[in-house]
Structure 1
């Protein structure tokens, strides 16, 4: 088969693929008052319901607590329990005043067993009290861009001034997921806490992540979840799952049971069935070239980072790119120099941008010799003017002297 025929067949296949009509499953109906399904790599929202409305987060609060622990502590740091943590209400592992743990041990208790007493022990260890630790929580929330969040404690027990939104909780969890330790713990099915100086018996923790370990709600690629519940807040959940480049997160707030795991299961399947994330640009790849004005030279441009696109599985692939030049060229263009950036859009939606850099040095001496030559002519012309003016002035004085002599 000739190359021309092969190319034509390839173009026909691509055309058919790219113009296929999207065939979506029906959008799920969820019981949660606040809900969000989002692709974490690209930030594309695939489903939302009151995503910016404030709700009580219950124990999903502990995601922020774990994040601050990972920022402020080493895993082998020793934590000695103070007087107040053992008296915290709600779920607990029954720690004792003076009991000694490592940070690593208590993180398992915090995230798998959802122990309120452990949350307070961490708060006391890092900031001295729940109240002071809450100040750190709110500071971090603002740094992450949370706009509808306020924390008053590290565990999530009800307080009318303790709230967040589905989107804010996504921002917090996304940051926590950057830590390998966090990812490891939330995918752990069970954990055994060995005897301590105050407790001679082992303590056993078991994950309640039904997306990972329950046949009815199992989602392929599920890799973490944190649940929460109080009477006032109802049920809450943050769950994650990934397949290839697609990394989904579901956030549910104020969900009514039964409904929590049904909602999470339905949203995850809706996301994976109808959307996919692809690597549109790979760091270091040549993606375009720049023609240098007034010359016949072109400069190949490389992508400075990976860029992922989240698109409909059976939608068109009409991705539009636009090159924006941000730097003027002074002297040589050097390899690795940032030349500008390319913006990508898909079906009218912005997909992101990536800086582009010079693939190699660009020897544009001919261009600049041309400018130098023009400047040289100008300078030479100016020197001629100055020389001529000097002759005129000299002639003027010489003539004046001659007139004086004749008068004498």
Structure 2
């Protein structure tokens, strides 16, 4: 009898574990060394994982991502820029510009992103805004109004330390997601090596991001920028793509350089192994509670666990809610309701999706109960046999 009960219990546990895996259980969450971090789906903007993502931090040279996209949208990449004495004399990492040197804006942005040139960053800022103080005002207004960040304030274009120069990992992910939609930015951001012809320095620039150059092997890296000042420690922004999933990983204040790369790989592994992007297409119809016709006014991208079955609900206000198997609302969008349409029954396919979602949600506990009832019945049957 004990043997039979043990076998049945093992079947129950294995079956329940299989159902849980099929339902899209996420991988084990990362354990990070960095003080602040975030993993974002670039297409949907959904946050897959975060650690202190709203905490104000010093960004160091990843600031240059914001400087680059602002300059690309503000000016023409073919514009010729004259390097000032102020730019040529900047401290820190440089591409060794000389006062009076003439260089295309695109080349300055390349020197700024690929080799992290602080002199190039200042030359860009002075060209697009006239002077450093005006640039600070301009880029902060741009980041808040155009991109929608809320906890970022940049005092300079390069990321050199200033106590009022700060951001968050979430804001940096938003800035990077916005920038990656621009073809010109994306081309420079993914450059591994670049021949550099300057007035006093001819060389080959090599990107400082080790995962991008392949010094640290990781499949799917599409761009990146690192940073370091004493106050910020090591900072890193990384973009990566596999299949239909585009990820952005940001880690801030890692005590050691290898920590920031290990943390980044953990984040990307977590995203690629456990999640995927689904697209709801503009114009797709849904039924409301009043049976009016309602359509998506634009595409809706959502991030879900792999193999997870979704369900859709439209509330009384006409808002579409996308629900996961555990009942959580993954994303929402207000539908465009057309009251001219006659009431109609819910689409059978959509009805089936709803039912499938509910079945998948409650199936494991139901099956476990049925198996346990069978176990009790078997136990009673064995006792009767023994008594007879």
TM-score by length of 1: 0.72
Alignment of 1:87-106 (within 5 A): 87-106=89-108
Q: Corresponding residue for 1:256?
A: 255
Cα pair 1:342 1:356 within 8 Å, conserved:
no
Question: Is 2:109–2:124's contact at 8 Å kept on the other side of the alignment?
Answer: no
Taking the aligned partners of 2:94 and 2:254, their CA distance within structure 1 comes to: 23
1:225 counterpart SS class: strand
Q: Hey, what's the Cα distance between the residues in 1 that align with 2:177 and 2:286?
A: 32
User: Structure 1 stretch 140-149 or stretch 48-57: which is displaced more?
Assistant: 140-149
Work out the CA distance in 1 between the residues paired with 2:216 and 2:144: 38
Tell me if the contact between 1:221 and 1:241 (Cα under 8 Å) persists in the aligned partners.
yes
Identify which of 294, 304, 311 aligns with 1:319: 311
1:349 aligns to what?
A: 329
Task: Tell me how far apart the structure 2 counterparts of residues 46 and 260 of structure 1 sit (CA, whole Å).
Answer: 18
The alignment yields a C-alpha RMSD, in angstroms, of 2.6
Check conservation: 1:283, 1:305, Cα contact below 8 A: yes
The corresponding residue for 2:70 is 68
Corresponding residue for residue 209 of structure 1: 209
* Corresponding position of 2:241: 242
2:125 partner SS:
helix
Contact 1:211 1:265 (8 Å CA) reproduced:
no
Q: Describe how 1:3-22 pairs up with structure 2 within 5 A.
A: 20-22=22-24
User: Hey, what's the Cα distance between the residues in 2 that align with 1:35 and 1:156?
Assistant: 18
- 1:176 corresponding residue in structure 2: 179
Q: Deviations over 1:332-362 (max 9, x none)?
A: xxxxxxxx65332333224122634669x96
Structure showing the higher helix proportion among its residues: 2
3-state SS of paired residue (1:24): coil
Q: Distance in 2 between matches of 1:185 and 1:104?
A: 9
- Give me the whole-angstrom Cα distance separating, in 2, the residues matched to 1:17 and 1:41: 29
| Structure 1 unmatched ranges of 5 or more | 1-15, 326-339, 365-408
Q: Secondary structure at the residue paired with 1:259?
A: helix
Aligned length: 322
1:148 paired residue among 148, 151, 155: 151
Distance 1:95 1:289 in 2: 62
Q: So what's the TM-score if we normalise by structure 2?
A: 0.76
Measured after TM superposition, the shift of residue 20 of structure 1 is 2.7
Distance change in 2, residues 1:299/1:64 (3 Å): same
What residue is the counterpart of 2:269 in the other structure?
269
Residue 13 of structure 1: aligned partner: none
Distance across 1 between alignment mates of 2:210 and 2:306: 26
Q: Which runs of 5+ in 2 are unaligned?
A: 1-17, 344-388
Q: What CA deviation, in whole Å up to 9, does each residue of 1:292-351 have, x standing for no partner?
A: x8xxxx876554322222111144x142321656xxxxxxxxxxxxxx653323332241
Query: Is the contact made by 2:294 and 2:335 (CA closer than 8 Å) also made in structure 1?
Result: no
The 5 Å alignment of 1:9-408 reads 20-143=22-145, 144-195=147-198, 198-199=199-200, 202-214=202-214, 216-218=216-218, 220-257=219-256, 258-279=258-279, 281-285=280-284, 287-288=285-286, 302-315=295-308, 317-322=309-314, 342-346=320-324, 347-353=327-333, 355-356=335-336
Over residues 1-48 of structure 1, what are the superposed CA-to-partner deviations in whole Å (9 max), with x where a residue is unaligned?
Answer: xxxxxxxxxxxxxxx989834443321111110111111222222211
Distance in 1, Cα, partners of 2:151 & 2:126: 26
Higher relative contact order (CA 8 A, sep 6+): 2
CA deviations on 1:45-80 (whole Å, 9 max, x unpaired) are 221111111111000011111121012110111101
Separation of aligned partners in 1, 2:29 and 2:247: 16
**Distance change in 2, residues 1:209/1:324 (3 Å):** farther
Change (3 A) 1:363 1:357: closer
Query: Is the Cα–Cα contact under 8 Å of residues 217 and 265 in structure 1 kept in the other structure?
Result: no
Q: 1:268 to 1:91 in 2, by over 3 A?
A: same
Determine if contact 1:217/1:261 at 8 Å carries over to the other structure.
no
